[in-house]
Amino acid sequence: DGGITQSPKYLFRKEGQNVTLSCEQNLNHDAMYWYRQDPGQGLRLIYYSQIVNDFQKGDIAEGYSVSREKKESFPLTVTSAQKNPTAFYLCASSISRHRVYEQYFGPGTRLTVT
């Protein structure tokens, strides 16, 4: 079955540590996205990538970094510079950058930093 996988489902880290969230897709989609959800708010875009070795900052990129070395993989690193890292993180992909195409989402990773 085609889809998007994110791991782990739950992640706990101590403050000051960097942590990397995994996102893999086998849909052969060009575009991939990372979103963050906080209670009572809509999904906010952290980073997006149109093709391999290309990515762009979204609305809340500070304290995060990404890489896109392979078409199917788009890992997100939450660095110690991110002031409020505890949140639910969703990865998504779409066929292309064309705005009409819907996005396909992974199951998400809930990160708790203490």
Residues that bind other proteins (CB under 8 A): 4, 31, 33, 35, 40-45, 48, 50, 56, 58, 90, 94, 96-108
Contacts of 93 by beta carbon, 8 Å cutoff, 6+ apart: 4, 25, 27, 29, 31, 32, 33, 74, 103, 104
CB of 13 to other proteins, least distance (A): 22
How far is the C-alpha of 112 from the C-alpha of 85, rounded, in Å? Answer: 7
Least separation in angstroms between residue 16's CB and other proteins is 30
Nearest approach, Cβ of residue 47 and other proteins (Å): 11
The residue among 35 and 64 lying less far from other proteins, judged by its C-beta, is 35
Helix, strand, coil tally for the chain in percent (to 5) = 0, 45, 55
